[in-house]
């Protein structure tokens, strides 16, 4: 019988820990939170100093019984949920349901799952942290008060099912404010003038116009450029000044939660939610074959850049042995953590630097390996020497004008041998070109001038990475909440992602405007940041959580009462467009499938359609006959189906030769036969920038024969709410489906032209054939 019990929140984590701890300590899992506020009521007693009314989460009664059974007759119980506020709440609730009468509880902070770290954490176990629990409780109650009391107002005033959130709504405001700034932006014209020059030796190089009579110059029109070109017509280009100096670039610190989310978004195009899900797996333990489950990284919710002395020593040894002494600084690099960071935690790093990414390739999925590689490289690079560049600046005189050319040459790679940090810059110019050998006084040959017209650009829309950065700078939310906030904004259709940019929907703009008008404090980024600091003070034991609630709720309830009568109703948004059917004004409305244009004369007129906005925010009705003329230099708007009215596609059905129509379903636009229901052919499609409709890969789809005996059909790629799958085009006569793309290789046993991957096996899809083999860990599929 085990002498003690360790309870963690994750079954995977429990499995990893049990492997290291043996039979003396039994490890079980609570499978997440076991208690929370009720979903169908406020769950906060406003008359009893904001006392929360916790209830057992649906389905967790059985888990609680299992925990009580495991804890029976065991005195020493270790509580090891995640080392953050949420983990503290889980630990506290477990202790409450088990009771202190027959048990002695120890709080264990498991920052990494390695044998040594686990044993040290158990040896250093302490008491449950009441202050940290109160901080989580205050955050939960605050979020409930805001969400459950503002959201019903939005149901009444705008649309049922909308939601507001204490931090989510402020993040939405940032996105909407940026969009308003883009709409209001007025571009200014300016010109640049480059000179393409040659020295005595190659290569030719480019210099840009820099000064006129020692004053900076930026031509504002073509007239000014022509005057400058006239003045330079007989000018001689000479090297007036030459300066070369070394430039050092220092490595970035190892990841914290926010920087990991930002960098994974920039480099790997991972959404923050996906990044945290993958990091959780790497932390809790991955199966490494004969080694069993191994925790590969330290805890991933942290705001500290600290590295333990032991890990730092191992890393410096690794760098010296692997890259040489030139890449190892004399003393370890030190990094400053953000204000208020929990320095008891470490940065996100590999649990063992000796586990190189390439060694883990047989055991990790593609995305897990990519994230581990990112974490490993950033950590290793953080303790390497700086990169050294020679930055050369050449000032070139031409009459009264001065041109400048620059070039940067890498002299020593330093940390860039392992890792280079990315940026949010879009369309960033390439680095300076190489300059030829130059000396002061050299006369240069002019090959050509290159005048270019430009316009100032509006501020860029936020990406997920840049929005996280802005929230971090302004102190809105905490790193552990960023992924959830960004996911909620998109799931609630307040924000949509266009490529990597976040764009507010019409609904998002309306909700943000209403909340800013009626709840100026709640929607103020500075106020929200101040509240986060107050919650940190609760965690530090400097103020009681009830006092924080009183300070917040007094002003909030006044705004809430005023909004119940003063908030304007916005059931639709006027567009200044005219209905093509009846001449009434068109308005933006919201339905179960998203936002659309509808006639204000509804129900007398049932016209509906889709819309888009131009760069100035003006609404443009989209439809086959309603395309607006393109502005000079802009791509023409693309046609879209008018809701409820299938649009012609100009294509013919390959089955029955009738016309294919553009239709709209719950999952977006698709091609459907005009002969429906006699002909049920459907196809996905894409559009060219000119609006031309291109059916998606019908030839490729036909290449994969349906494996059902006698069917004669072929597989087509389809989309459901659960994602992409492959099904027979003879549905509903044939219901064959599979989730994975076919593998483009014949069955060695029956020679069927393709195979399928299922779990860790590769199988023949035919029921009549029993061929199977183990799948290689990185087996490719034809997506």
Distance (Å, whole) CA 701 – CA 727: 10
Distance (Å, whole) CA 500 – CA 266: 9
CA 234 from centroid of its chain's CA atoms:
55
Distance (Å, whole) CA 501 – CA 101: 55
Label residues 692-705 b or e (16+ Cβ within 10 Å = b): ebebeeeeebeebb
**Torsion, Cα of 679, 681, 687, 693 (10° steps):** -40
Torsions phi, psi for 112 (to 5 deg): -155, 150
Distance (Å, whole) CA 704 – CA 740: 13
| Whether 107 contacts 101, CB under 8 Å | no
3-state secondary structure at position 774 = strand
Distance (Å, whole) CA 293 – CA 494: 40
DSSP 124: T
Residue 570 tokens read as: 């916005």
Torsions phi, psi for 206 (to 5 deg): -115, 135
Phi-psi region of 65 (alpha: psi -120 to 50; beta: other; left: phi over 0): alpha
| Whether 744 contacts 754, CB under 8 Å | yes
- 105: Cβ contacts below 8 Å, ≥ 6 apart: 77, 78, 79, 95, 98, 127, 128
Residue 393 tokens read as: 């600046």
DSSP H or E stretch at residue 244: strand 237-249
| Whether 451 contacts 192, CB under 8 Å | yes
Distance (Å, whole) CA 275 – CA 263: 10
Distance (Å, whole) CA 303 – CA 622: 46
| Whether 612 contacts 622, CB under 8 Å | yes
Label residues 73-103 b or e (16+ Cβ within 10 Å = b): ebeebbbbbbbbbbbbbbbbbbbebbeeeeb
Closest CA to 756 of 769, 770, 738, 768: 738
Which residues are known to be catalytic?
299
Tokens 């889709």, residue located: 610
How would you classify the pairing of strands 76-79 and 286-287? unpaired
Tokens 């909700």, residue located: 511
| Whether 173 contacts 524, CB under 8 Å | no
For helices 257-268 and 366-382, the axis angle rounded to 10 degrees is 120
- 146: Cβ contacts below 8 Å, ≥ 6 apart: 164, 165, 166, 169, 522, 556
| Whether 180 contacts 220, CB under 8 Å | no
Beta strands (DSSP E) in 474-571 are 495-498, 501-504
* First CA to last CA distance, the chain: 51
Residue 69 tokens read as: 């059974």
CA 119 from centroid of its chain's CA atoms:
35
Residue 256 tokens read as: 């914290």
3-state secondary structure at position 239 = strand
| Whether 130 contacts 43, CB under 8 Å | no
Distance (Å, whole) CA 568 – CA 583: 27
């Amino acid at each position: 019988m085990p002498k003690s019990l360790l309870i963690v929140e994750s079954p995977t984590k429990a499995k990893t820990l049990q492997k290291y701890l043996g039979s003396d300590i039994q490890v079980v899992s609570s499978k997440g939170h076991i208690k929370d506020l009720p979903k169908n009521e406020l769950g906060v007693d406003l008359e009893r100093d904001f006392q929360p009314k916790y209830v057992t989460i649906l389905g967790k009664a059985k888990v609680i019984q299992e925990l009580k059974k495991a804890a029976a007759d065991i005195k020493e119980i270790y509580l090891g949920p995640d080392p953050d506020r949420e983990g503290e709440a889980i630990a506290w609730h477990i202790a409450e349901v088990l009771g202190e009468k027959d048990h002695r509880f120890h709080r264990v902070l498991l920052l990494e799952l390695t044998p040594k770290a686990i044993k040290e954490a158990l040896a250093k176990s302490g008491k449950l942290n009441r202050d940290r629990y109160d901080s989580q409780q205050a955050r939960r109650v605050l979020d409930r008060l805001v969400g459950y009391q503002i959201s019903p107002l939005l149901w009444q005033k705008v649309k049922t099912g909308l939601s507001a959130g204490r931090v989510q709504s402020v993040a939405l405001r940032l996105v909407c404010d940026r969009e308003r700034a883009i709409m209001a932006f007025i571009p200014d014209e300016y010109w640049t003038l480059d000179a393409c020059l040659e020295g005595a030796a190659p290569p030719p190089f480019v210099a840009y116009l820099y000064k006129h009579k020692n004053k900076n110059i930026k031509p504002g029109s073509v007239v000014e450029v022509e005057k400058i070109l006239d003045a330079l017509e007989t000018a001689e280009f000479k090297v007036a000044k030459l300066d070369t100096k070394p430039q050092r670039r220092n490595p970035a610190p190892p990841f914290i939660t926010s920087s990991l989310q930002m960098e994974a978004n920039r480099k790997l195009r991972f959404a923050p939610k996906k990044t945290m899900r993958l990091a959780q797996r790497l932390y809790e333990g991955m199966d490494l074959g004969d080694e069993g489950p191994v925790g590969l990284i330290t805890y991933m919710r942290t705001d500290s850049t600290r590295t333990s002395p032991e890990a730092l020593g191992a890393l410096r040894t690794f760098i010296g042995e692997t890259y040489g002494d030139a890449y190892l600084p004399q003393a370890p690099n030190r990094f400053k953590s953000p204000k208020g960071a929990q320095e008891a935690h470490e940065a996100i790093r590999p649990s063992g630097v000796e586990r190189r990414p390439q060694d883990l390739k047989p055991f990790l999925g593609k995305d897990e390996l990519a994230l581990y590689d990112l974490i490993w490289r950033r950590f290793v690079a953080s303790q390497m020497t700086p990169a050294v560049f020679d930055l050369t600046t050449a000032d070139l005189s031409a009459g009264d004008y001065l041109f400048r050319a620059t070039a940067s040459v890498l002299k020593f790679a330093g940390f860039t041998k392992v890792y280079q940090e990315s940026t949010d810059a879009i369309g960033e110019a390439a680095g300076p070109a190489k300059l030829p050998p130059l000396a002061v006084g050299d006369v240069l040959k002019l090959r050509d001038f290159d005048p270019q017209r430009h316009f100032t650009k509006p501020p860029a829309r936020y990406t997920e990475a840049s929005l996280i950065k802005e929230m971090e700078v302004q102190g809105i939310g905490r790193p552990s909440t960023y992924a959830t906030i960004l996911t909620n904004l998109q799931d609630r259709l307040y924000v949509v992602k266009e490529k990597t940019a976040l764009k507010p929907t019409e609904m998002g703009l309306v909700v943000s405007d209403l909340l800013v008008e009626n709840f100026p404090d709640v929607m103020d980024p500075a106020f929200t940041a101040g509240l986060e600091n107050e919650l940190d003070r609760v965690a530090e034991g400097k103020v009681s959580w009830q006092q924080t609630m009183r300070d917040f709720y007094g002003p909030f309830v006044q705004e809430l009462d005023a909004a119940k009568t003063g908030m304007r109703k916005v059931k639709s948004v006027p567009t200044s467009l005219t209905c093509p059917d009846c001449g009434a004004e068109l308005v933006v409305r919201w339905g179960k499938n998203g936002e659309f244009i509808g006639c204000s004369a509804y129900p007398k007129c049932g016209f509906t359609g889709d819309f888009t906005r131009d760069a100035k925010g003006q609404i443009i009705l989209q439809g086959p006959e309603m395309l607006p003329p393109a502005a000079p230099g802009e791509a023409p708007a693309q046609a879209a189906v008018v809701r409820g009215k299938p649009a012609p596609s100009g294509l013919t059905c390959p089955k029955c030769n009738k016309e294919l129509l553009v239709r709209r379903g719950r999952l977006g636009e698709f091609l459907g036969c005009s002969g429906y229901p006699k002909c049920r052919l459907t196809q996905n499609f894409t559009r060219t920038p000119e609006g031309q409709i291109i059916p998606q890969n019908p030839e490729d789809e036909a290449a994969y024969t349906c494996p059902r005996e006698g069917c004669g059909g072929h597989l087509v790629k389809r989309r459901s709410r659960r994602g992409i799958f492959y099904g027979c085009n003879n549905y509903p006569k044939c219901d064959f489906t599979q989730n994975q793309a076919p593998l483009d290789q014949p069955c060695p046993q029956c020679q069927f032209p393709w195979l399928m991957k299922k779990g860790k096996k590769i199988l023949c899809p035919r029921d009549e054939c029993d061929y199977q083999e183990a799948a290689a860990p990185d087996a490719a599929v034809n997506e």
